[in-house]
């Protein structure tokens, strides 16, 4: 949005001071009250019809009624010429994410406990009013002068799920911290926020999120759904045991096993004897992309009081922080920023460690993912192929990291309209993952999904139909029938039924899919739109078989309720072709 714009005839924009998946933030002047404010311009949701806008504004205004010193004051919310915006108090400080980027080993124990108590207290006040945040993360916490923590962005997370697709799959939230019930599309309540807090606390106390973030979304999702985190003490041995136990309790898979409410979390935090914990030297990593941060600080009006002089970080530590930042940007939908950070990390690590060091390959893998997600598939192809071949040499062909890189290449090739090249790679990954990890494994089914879409694009519809049926059924059991990944395969199942002339079955799938997509993703989501188009095509008096075309989006989308098996013999699938050399 151009500067010098006046929103609502009142708020004069002066300059952009921040951006991200949550929208763009501008410094502005409230010309009526003659004061500086922050204006957040929200992404326009595809389904932003008048009723949806009204509903969102009602929810956001409810959140704006929260009166607590730890919650950012919202002055106004309105729509101007189809631009939805929030007007907030202008805060003098930095967000918690920037602080954590500068302290890779975690915050000082006393500072971390103090901020954790403040954040939890503010969240408890919201919960007392029946408001669940749903997207808690360090970037949504501002730390202002004096060390006061302020929670931001209440009431807009639900809107943003349809506006941005923050996770790349349509699931609401930021995958680095999301609770299992969010990934599974189940009901959420205050205990969901407790899980999100647990992920934030994990990073505050040791510098690491609960699960690795640099191996792609599917691996991160499986961490949250299936695996017990090591806990912050595994990364910071000086932490008191009580902190480690609290964080692990907050990260319980079952909401019933988490602390019951914010009050219990605060009680346990305050019981920690901070003074008795051994001091750990701080490590400081300069903000390598300091230009943006300095610009933001100049507008926001300063920074926090200086911390005690930390020890300097090594180049390896600086590149590790860049690598983590690039991965986080990918998960937050900030793909252009992810490309920049990953390029810097990959180049630095290649010079420092060599082109096929595992850390260099990790950065290059993130770079390939970021390029692909940013719509730059042609550039991503060469990087992804190099990483897959390098990982095969370093780790072996059947290593999970190697298989993830080959699958990324298959997706890129499919997106480029080269399904004949994508198919053997996807088949190879699906075959190897099924043998090693089993057929009902999320990443196995991700490969099967790509295999099915490739078969469909090549006109091998009976084979594609069998793959779609098996994958939709498996994903339904693994993730639930309304999970976006399952919805994706349900679309493929509907299209392949249409392609082989099974119109009644295709119509039933498309009708159920349209309803579920509208409920879960919103009326304007690309997957919902494709389900609607399939319904319309099947509603004609003489529906024609579907003619496939390469997906325009890097995320093929769909999936159905488990259906009866196809009623005709399956064509034998061609033998999987080995990976490319």
User: Residues forming the annotated binding site?
Assistant: 40
Structure tokens at 354: 């060599």
Binding residues for ATP are 40
Tell me how far CA of residue 292 lies from CA of 93, 274, 303, 550, in angstroms: 14, 35, 14, 37
The position carrying tokens 């075309």 is 549
Q: Find the radius of gyration of the CA atoms of the chain.
A: 24
DSSP assignment of 445-502 equals HHHHHHHHHHHHHTT-HHHHHHHHHHHHHHHHHHH-TTSHHHHHHHHHHHHHHHHTT-
From 135, 244, 261, 432, the catalytic residue: 135
- Is residue 110 annotated as part of the catalytic site, yes or no? no
Phi, psi of 26 (to 5 degrees): -120, 145
Whole-number Å distance between alpha carbons of 390 and 396: 9
Whole-number Å distance between alpha carbons of 96 and 254: 27
Structure tokens at 157: 């997370």
- CB of 166 closer than 8 Å to CB of 134: no
Whole-number Å distance between alpha carbons of 303 and 19: 18
Task: Indicate the pairing of strand 74-80 with strand 35-41.
Answer: unpaired
Instruction: Classify the phi-psi angles of 513: left when phi > 0, otherwise alpha if psi is within -120 to 50, otherwise beta.
Output: alpha
- Report the catalytic residues: 135
């Amino acid at each position: 949005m151009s500067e010098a714009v006046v929103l609502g005839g009142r708020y004069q924009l002066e300059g952009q001071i921040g951006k991200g998946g949550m929208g763009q933030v501008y410094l502005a002047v409230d010309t009526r009250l003659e004061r500086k404010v922050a204006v957040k311009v929200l992404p326009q949701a595809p389904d932003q019809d008048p009723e949806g806008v009204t509903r969102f504004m009602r929810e956001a205004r409810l959140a704006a009624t929260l009166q607590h010193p730890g919650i950012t004051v919202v002055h106004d919310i309105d729509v101007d010429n189809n631009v939805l915006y929030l007007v907030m108090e202008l805060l003098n400080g930095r967000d918690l994410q920037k602080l954590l980027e500068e302290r890779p080993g975690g915050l000082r124990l006393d500072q971390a406990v103090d901020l954790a108590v403040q954040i939890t207290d503010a969240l408890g006040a919201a919960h007392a009013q029946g408001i669940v945040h749903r997207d808690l993360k360090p970037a949504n916490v501002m730390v202002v002068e004096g060390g006061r923590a302020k929670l931001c962005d209440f009431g807009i997370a639900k809107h943003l799920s349809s506006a941005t697709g923050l996770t790349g799959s349509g699931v609401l939230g930021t995958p680095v911290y999301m609770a299992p019930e969010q990934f599974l599309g189940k009901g959420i309540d205050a205990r969901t926020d407790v899980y999100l807090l647990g992920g934030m606390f994990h990073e505050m106390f040791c510098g690491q999120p609960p699960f690795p973030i640099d191996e792609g979304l599917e691996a991160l999702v499986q961490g949250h759904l299936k695996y017990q985190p090591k806990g912050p003490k595994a990364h910071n041995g000086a932490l008191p045991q009580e902190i480690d136990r609290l964080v692990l309790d907050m990260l319980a898979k079952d909401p019933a096993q988490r602390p019951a409410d914010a009050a219990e979390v605060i009680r346990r935090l305050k019981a920690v004897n901070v003074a008795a914990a051994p001091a750990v030297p701080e490590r400081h990593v300069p903000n390598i992309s300091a230009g943006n941060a300095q610009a933001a600080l100049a507008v926001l009006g300063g920074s926090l009081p200086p911390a005690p002089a930390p020890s300097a970080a090594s180049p390896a530590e600086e590149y590790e922080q860049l690598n983590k930042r690039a991965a986080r940007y990918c998960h937050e939908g900030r793909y252009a920023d992810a490309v920049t950070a990953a390029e810097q990390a990959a180049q630095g690590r290649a010079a420092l460690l060599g082109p096929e060091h595992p850390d260099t390959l990790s950065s290059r893998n993130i770079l390939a993912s970021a390029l692909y997600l940013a719509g730059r598939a042609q550039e991503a192809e060469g990087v992804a192929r190099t990483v897959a071949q390098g990982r095969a040499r370093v780790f072996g062909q059947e290593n999970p990291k190697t298989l993830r890189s080959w699958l990324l290449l298959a997706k890129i090739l499919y997106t480029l309209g080269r399904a004949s090249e994508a198919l053997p790679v996807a088949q190879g990954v699906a075959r190897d993952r099924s043998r090693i990890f089993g057929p009902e494994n999320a990443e196995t089914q991700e490969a099967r999904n790509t295999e099915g879409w490739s078969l469909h694009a090549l006109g091998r519809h009976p084979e594609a139909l069998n793959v779609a049926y098996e994958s939709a059924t498996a994903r339904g059991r693994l993730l639930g029938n309304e999970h976006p990944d399952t919805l994706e395969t349900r679309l493929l199942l509907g299209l392949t039924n249409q392609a082989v002339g099974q119109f009644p079955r295709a119509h039933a799938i498309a009708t159920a899919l349209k309803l579920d997509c509208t409920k879960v993703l919103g009326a304007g989501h690309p997957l919902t739109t494709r389900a609607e188009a399939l319904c319309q095509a099947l509603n004609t008096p003489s529906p024609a078989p579907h003619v496939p075309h390469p997906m325009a989006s890097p995320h093929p989308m769909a999936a159905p309720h488990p259906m009866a098996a196809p009623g005709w013999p399956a064509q034998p699938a061609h033998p999987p072709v080995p990976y490319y050399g």
